[in-house]
Amino acid sequence: MSNWNSFADFIHMNGHGYYVWCAYGAFVLGVAWELFSLVKRRRAICRRITREARAAEFTLEQ
């Protein structure tokens, strides 16, 4: 047995739809932002490690 008779009832959620969908939207935006920032930080760390390894290799050669 379904709680909603139509898709519009599902979206409206007995008057609570705006709050529910805004909460889901905020959650999705937060997760997307966190994933984006993790990828950005990882790239920065990899660049820094590569730069330090090249500098260490350069000093060993001299």
| Cα gap 61→55, rounded to integer Å | 10
Are residues 35 and 29 in contact, defined by beta-carbon separation less than 8 angstroms? no
Q: How far, in Å, are 35, 51, 57, 60 from residue 48 at the CA level?
A: 20, 5, 14, 18
Q: What is the pLDDT of residues 5-55, one digit of tens each?
A: 899 998 999 899 999 999 999 999 999 999 999 999 999 999 999 999 999
pTM, 2 dp: 0.70
